[in-house]
Structure 1
Amino acid sequence: MRSAAWHARIVCGPTTGTGFLVTERHVLTCAHVVARSKADPIRVTFAHDGEESVGARVVAHGGWDDRTTGTGDMAVLELDHQVLLKPAQFAGVTDAFGHPPRRLVAYGFPKAYDDGTFAEYRTTYDQLIAGDWIQVESWAAHGQPLVRGFSGAALTLADTGKVVGMVTEAARDPGVRNGRMLPAQVLARYWPPLAELVPTPGFTREEKTRLRELLTDMSGRVERGGLECHPERLYRASVGRNGPDPTHRIRSLWDAVCCLLFEVPDPSALVRFTERLADFVEDVSVRAALRSWSRQSYGQSYGPPDPPAPVRPPETPQPWSPILVEISPSGSGEGRFMVEVSVYDGQYRRMVGSRTLPAERVRGYALERIDDAYRLLDQDARELIAFVLPRRWLNTGVARWPRSDDDASPLGAIAPVVVLDLERRRSGVLQRHLVRNWRRLDTCSSARMQRVGCEPAGQDPQEEVKLTLELRGDADMVGFGVPPRGAGAARLFRATLNAAVPVLVWPHSGCHGRNPHEGCRGAVFLDHLAEHLADLPPKELPAYVHLLREKAYAAQETEPHWAYDLALLWEDPRCLPDPVGYRHTPVADPSRP
């Protein structure tokens, strides 16, 4: 025991107990010690201080009710004024356990010991009982047992004097020399500011303070039903399938954070938690603050090491830094889709948002999370927005979606936008063939374009297999004169996708495959493609198409610019690796729309 100055004797009516100073104005004790505080004043006297007792009031508690389970037997007292004493220091949450056992010392004020006395104990096992307390047992068969007057006493490590928990109860049978201890992490669960005082690997006191402040408002929203997420589901999504089960029932966001801070050995789980939580926050400033917290913690504490920057000639373009928007049927009902937005940072993928939504809410949610994703990109990153869409959505004009409610600029004018086919992205065979095709394209200065006109557009079902075989390994880019509408055109598109052609280009509208075709919009479109894109390096096609779209959207002609309707499917799996581990069960409450 290095110092007893911060130990306190607490009197409330007929009850005498113990407490300990944790800040210049706050003392922890047991709720049952101050159970009569509404009727009787609380007086706090510090051991060896020599000063008069100080008045105090209860400002927080753990929800203890002696008529029920007896859990949560903790109260926070606020003193009438600050005291000039150094508060207690806390040990790490695992320091109370070990082989051989760690000797723990309690300093209490039982009857006839107004100046206090010591008791020596040790933990029996590191398992929480009722999600609340740890059993302790006497260090020896003799000496001072835990009796009335020790309630609220700090249990400290004998060799360092640092606090590991608080005594709450002794065995009712005098012949049994054991008791209960609320460990430091449980005390912090009941009183969040305490988490800043308990050491946690990977997170500084300032980081924990900032997170607690952000969660204060979030917790209120969850209780009022204002967030479409359940804290325990959010916790389980953050730790993954193989992560530890919580040691107690998670009822609030703070409960989940305490589990992640004190019970989960992987610090990145808390970063994933805050990132996923941000996805459910509608307030833009709060959502940005949560993402900023996770980004700073990710980078400073335990983020993956930055790969060495490759040495490139000045004329070599910087690699793409994609923002991936994956939209897929959710399986939770007709017309509902899973929307996942993530950012690639080098070889790592960071989730920005994941939500199951009805079709009419997909666009608004995706655009909001794309805007959030930009905050995670390095300032010098070369952005690429890639939409992974179900095949029946491939002709959706995502490049023409307005950037936001207050900016009608098309998304394709803000950044390069490409689409990918969901079914092909999930095919191991086709992804392998695509990588092989791109390795060949790396040695080429331009792409070979195969024209697929609009007459007659895939009327013969045998054409599909024939075209797949013809294009496999023989085409770098296929230009279509028609959009993938109608059975015939859809067959030709499917054949091209199955041939693992890296690039497909087509107009969103125009010729529908009806005669005559000479000089039709589809033919004119293909002529423009051959003129503007066919001889360009395939890796840079998204950038060139972006420039074309900028020109097309700004054009003032009576007739729309030929590239106004241009759709680009561009897929390089090396640029967009798929980490399967990031696919997770939605954490939203299934009862919410």
Structure 2
Amino acid sequence: MTEFAWHARIVCGNEVGAGFLVSARRVLTCAHVVRASATSEVTVSFPNSRNLGPLPATVAALGGWAGDAADPGDLAVLELDRDVPLEPARFAPPGAELAGEPAPTLVAYGFPKGYDEGMLAQYHAVPGALVRDEWRQLEAATAHGQALAPGFSGAAVTLADGRVVGMVSTVVGARDGRVGRMLPTQVMARYWPELGALLAAPDQDRDALRRLHALVRRAVAEGLDCDPDRLFLDAVGPFGPELPTREGFASLGAAAGYVQWEVADGKAVTRFADRLEELLDAPPVRPAAAAPVWSPIVVEMDRSGAGTDQVTVEVSAYRDGQRRRVGSRRLPRAAVRAYVQRSIDEAFTQLAPGAEELITFVLPRGWLNEPVASWECGADDPTPLGCAYPLVVVDRSRHRSGRLRHQLAKRWQKLDACPGARLHRVDCDTGERPQSLRKRLRDDDADLTGYAFPPTGAPPHFEVGLNTPVAILLWPRTGCAEPGHDGPCPGATFLDELTDRLTGVPPAELPREVMDLRETAEADEHPDRHWARDVQLLWDDPRCFPEPAALLHSPVA
């Protein structure tokens, strides 16, 4: 066997062409060579390894060629009926057909009529742009040698050392075959992305490419349900190229290949692979259940102008989209809890039978960390409200902002179709400026953000989450006191555990999920040490409150 034993002769019906071995069982050729494969047998032989004999093959993949000589995607991947003991072809870096001065002489091994053993043709690549971004034009190196002719289609175009730079696809121009076209390897990889793992430009990280294509193969094998367009856009970032076509990518492999060959940012390959690996290693998404139709019981509180110790409280219940006021009082802070307990109990009488209650505390921004989930249900029931019912807090200023309510309603329309929002972390050691955090949350289209510290730890960072606006915020009420500290980080532990627990949970289900978390922490042998002992959930879907209460006034007590 010779080092060039990978050259192949392909027969399909009346068509004879060439090809080349790229793995123990895969051969590349032109799609038009095997156009009759639906009705005719495809056989592959290796002239430089005659002991193998003709081998049956099937068409494993096609590049999308539509049937005309000027149509793109004239590539086919053949699968032999068994492995062959031959070294596959080696590939030169993309663009090597033009490297050097003078440009290298290229060689094609084809099978024109009467030469079943094969003939060699010498050509030069024409520099400049690819023809229609698809073909590299070839022109004969001599006036008297073998010309490209029928039987050369699918032949590997190689450098003198045998490394492949492309594949002969068509003979064009004069009838003497002195002009032809080849598909460069990077174009071939568009149509068969697995080829990308065998190719690398001089400035590309081969390990990163191998990892990328290994992940793509794993995703295909596991049937991963993902959006190639979204992966591409995440990889190139907000200032990267747009989708190449209005229809987007036909497959995950096509998106990976485009990132490899068409995106100048070398780190895009790593970002694409990182995100794909996240999706592959994510816990299984829970089966989607019908989103609950919440019936909120709203407790709205605000400072009263009657004195620093005075609080105005109004309790309402929603039924059939209509707000029903239960009561409104101005009270000393010490009396608020008892009044809220009684009013919530009364508010339940306003709900429809079977309604999904949602206790919602609408609080001033400075009170969002109040331990309302720990308040008892009543004088005779010490169960924490947050363990008895789904309970959330809402920022009062954005609850009443028409601008933010409009933005949040749009976000929730998107979240309705989301099987599980991804948690965007704000760690205590981030060192991130509020302005940078705002840009990150907007660039990532964040809908669920977790903080390692309470609002008092870094108020400007919370202002960003509230005003962006992010629909859902979570934090530990007694987590890290402030960003950046020495020693163990309870806030980081909180975010790690929260990420694991909430992955795959539909956003509409989060109030119930957090209630379950609170119950789990309360039932723990050491509840004060449980990571979820004081989780606070700001969950804000303005569609649950189609009729906000009027501005609180100070009623007569």
Q: Write the distance in 1 (CA, Å) between the matches of 2:25 and 2:254.
A: 25
Deviations 1:231-288 (A, max 9, x none): 55445427x35x6996998514433321322344542122233456678x5972489x
* CA distance in 2: counterparts of 1:247 and 1:95, whole angstroms: 28
Compute the displacement of 1:195 (Å).
1.9
Matching of residues 212-251 of structure 1 within 5 Å:
212-216=216-220, 221-222=225-226, 227=227, 230=230, 233-234=233-234, 236-237=236-237, 240-241=239-240, 251=249
Contact 1:244–1:264 (8 Å) recurs in 2: no
1:102-501 to structure 2, matched below 5 A, reads: 102-125=104-127, 127-158=129-160, 160-171=161-172, 173-174=174-175, 177-200=178-201, 201-204=204-207, 206-216=210-220, 221-222=225-226, 227=227, 230=230, 233-234=233-234, 236-237=236-237, 240-241=239-240, 251=249, 252-275=251-274, 281=279, 284-285=282-283, 334-335=407-408, 341=425, 362=447, 365-367=448-450, 388-390=461-463, 393=466, 401=474, 410=476, 412-413=478-479, 415-416=480-481
The letter of the residue matching 2:266 is P
SS in 1 for 2:237: helix
Shift of 1:45: 1.1
Aligned equivalent of 1:494: none
Q: SS of the counterpart of 1:390?
A: helix
Aligned 1:504-519 pairs, distance under 5 A: none
Question: After the TM superposition, which residues 549-564 of structure 1 pair with which residues of structure 2 at under 5 Å, given as runs?
Answer: none
Match of 2:353 in 1: none
Give the secondary structure class of the aligned counterpart of 1:366.
Answer: strand
Partner secondary structure for residue 272 of structure 1: helix
**In 2, are the aligned partners of 1:20 and 1:154 still within 8 Å (CA)?**
yes
Q: Is the 8 A contact 2:212 2:269 kept in 1?
A: no
Which amino acid in 1 is paired with 2:10?
Answer: I
Secondary structure, in 3 states, of the residue corresponding to 1:221?
coil
Equivalent position of 2:418 in the other structure: none
Match of 2:552 in 1: none
Shift of 1:38: 1.6
Following TM superposition, by how much is the alpha carbon of 1:48 offset from its aligned partner in structure 2, in angstroms?
2.0
Kindly tell me the number of residue pairs found equivalent between the two proteins.
359
**1:62-77 correspondence runs (5 A):** 62-67=63-68, 70-77=71-78
CA drift of 1:167 comes to 0.7
Query: In 2, distance between residues paired with 1:229 and 1:283?
Result: 20
Alignment check: 8 A CA contact 1:275 1:352 kept: no
Instruction: Tell me the amino acid that sits aligned with residue 334 of structure 1.
Output: Q
Q: CA deviation at 1:140?
A: 2.8
Deviation at 1:188, TM superposition (A): 2.3
Two-structure CA RMSD over aligned residues (Å): 5.0
Query: Cα–Cα, structure 1 residues 189 and 337, in superposed 2: closer, same or farther, change >3 Å?
Result: same
Partner SS state of residue 225, structure 2: helix
Mapped contact 1:101–1:122 kept (Cα < 8 A): yes
CA distance in 2, matches of 1:250, 1:399: 30
Contact 2:229 2:243 in 1 (8 A): no
The CA distance in 2 between the partners of 1:13 and 1:334, in whole Å, is 62
CA distance 1:332–1:117, shift in 2 (3 Å): farther
Conservation of the 8 A alpha-carbon contact between 2:29 and 2:76 = yes
User: Percent identity at matched positions?
Assistant: 32
Quote the offset at 1:113 in angstroms: 1.2
Runs (5+) with no aligned partner, structure 2: 286-397, 413-422, 495-520, 527-533, 537-557
> For residue 23 of structure 2, what is the aligned residue in structure 1?
23
Relative to 1, partners in 2 of residues 1:235 and 1:246: Cα closer, same or farther, differing over 3 Å? farther
Q: Which AA in structure 2 matches 1:284?
A: A
5+ residue gaps, structure 1: 288-327, 372-383, 403-409, 419-538, 557-563, 567-593
Equivalent residues of 2:228, 2:252 under 8 A apart: no
The alpha-carbon deviation at position 115 of structure 1 amounts to 1.1
Q: 2:33 & 2:189 partners in 1: Cα distance?
A: 19
Decide whether the 8 Å contact of 2:45 with 2:54 is kept in 1.
Answer: yes
In 2 relative to 1, CA 109–540 (structure 1 residues): closer, same or farther, beyond 3 Å?
A: closer
CA contact 2:219–2:280 (8 Å) conserved in 1: no
TM-score of the aligned structures, taking structure 2 as reference length: 0.53
1:388 alignment partner, SS class = helix
Distance change in 2, residues 1:126/1:11 (3 Å): same
Q: TM-score, normalised by structure 1?
A: 0.50
Alpha-carbon distance in 2 for matches of 1:92, 1:332: 54
Per the TM alignment, residue 194 of structure 1 is displaced from its structure 2 partner at its CA by 1.9
**1:164 shift after superposition:** 0.9
Structure 1 CA distance for aligned equivalents of residues 245 and 182 of structure 2: 16
Residue number in structure 1 paired with 2:357: none
Counterpart Cα distance in 2 of 1:25 and 1:258? 22
